[in-house]
């Protein structure tokens, strides 16, 4: 129904902004986007007419920019954005939460990454949380049985989208990660607000595949 009314995906980011405003009005505890906002919105009025021959630069500057509209919308709201991983570049996303350890440091436990896909700067700055949306980086199998709650570059841990959503929903500011009492590079659990999540030694969560239920979906109309 939403696609019939609003058209094909991806929708312009001013529409995303309207969704964020409406969900906030309805009392959403957290709004998470498992979408990459890495490039400028090609449906933004400014982008659409940029290549029109003879366009007045002054007029171009006055046209709306959907990325700016979306950035203003998410500011101060419980919005979490996702990013992907990359083998190129040197971008590392901003970590919005504190990370504390008990036991030995598990910073080398999660899957390692070289870099990430940059978010639009104004969106990264205004989001309440930022998390990766990679399921099995570096694994040779296409079967996904676990999801990494963190990724690492060897020095910094980067939380996943689901973790950030749980954190923002509770208004928590810090992850408390339990490492093994002896031996570095091993995780045993992650505490977020009121929740303690048991994990594999690599900081992965075993997945439970539940049936698809229509009541879990709400139309954007």
Walk along the chain (221 residues) in steps of 10 and give the mean pLDDT of each run. 77 94 96 94 78 71 88 98 91 94 90 92 97 77 85 94 97 94 84 96 90 84 74
Q: Which residue range forms the structural domain that includes residue 181?
A: 2-211
Distance CA 70, CA 86 (A): 25
Q: Does a structural domain hold residue 220? A: no
Nearest to 174 by CA among 96, 103, 75: 96
Quote the strand ranges of the chain, DSSP E: 31-36, 79-83, 85-86, 98-102, 115-116, 129-132, 146-148, 150-152, 157-159, 174-179, 187-192, 195-198, 204-206
Residue 98: predicted pLDDT: 96
Distance CA 50, CA 113 (A): 36
* pTM for this prediction: 0.88
3-state helix, strand, coil in the chain (%, to 5): 25, 25, 50
Q: Does a structural domain hold residue 184? A: yes
| DSSP states of 183-196 | SSS-EEEEEETTEE
The number of distinct structural domains making up the chain is: 1
Residue 140: predicted pLDDT: 64
> Strands 174-179 and 85-86, how do they pair?
unpaired
Q: Does a structural domain hold residue 124? A: yes
Q: Does a structural domain hold residue 75? A: yes
Residue 1: predicted pLDDT: 63
Q: Does a structural domain hold residue 216? A: no
Residue 139: predicted pLDDT: 67
Cβ–Cβ under 8 Å, residues 74 and 20: yes
Residues 9-31: b if buried by 16+ CB within 10 A, e if exposed? eebbbbbbbbbbeebbeeeeebb
Residue 105: predicted pLDDT: 86
For 206, the token pair is 């075993």
φ, ψ of residue 160 to 5 degrees: the values are -85, 170
Q: Does a structural domain hold residue 217? A: no
Q: Does a structural domain hold residue 80? A: yes
């Amino acid at each position: 129904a939403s696609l019939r009314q609003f058209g094909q995906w991806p929708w312009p980011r001013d529409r995303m902004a309207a969704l964020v405003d409406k969900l906030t009005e309805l009392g959403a505890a957290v709004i998470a986007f498992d979408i990459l906002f890495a490039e400028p919105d090609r449906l933004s009025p400014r982008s659409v007419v940029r290549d029109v021959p003879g366009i007045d630069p002054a007029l171009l500057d006055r046209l709306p920019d959907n990325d700016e509209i979306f950035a203003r919308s998410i500011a101060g709201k419980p919005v979490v954005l996702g990013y992907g991983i990359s083998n190129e570049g040197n971008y590392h996303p901003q970590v919005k939460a504190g990370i504390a350890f008990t036991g030995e440091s598990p910073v080398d436990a999660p899957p390692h990454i070289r870099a990430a896909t940059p978010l639009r700067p104004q969106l990264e700055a205004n989001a309440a949380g930022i998390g990766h949306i990679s399921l099995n980086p570096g694994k040779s199998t296409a079967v996904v049985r676990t999801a990494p709650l963190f990724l690492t570059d060897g020095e910094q841990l980067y939380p996943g989208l689901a973790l950030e959503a749980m954190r923002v929903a509770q208004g928590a500011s810090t992850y408390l990660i339990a490492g093994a009492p002896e031996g570095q590079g091993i995780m045993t659990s992650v505490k977020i607000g009121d929740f303690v999540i048991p994990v594999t030694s690599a900081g992965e969560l075993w997945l439970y595949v539940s049936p698809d239920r229509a009541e879990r979906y709400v139309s954007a109309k």
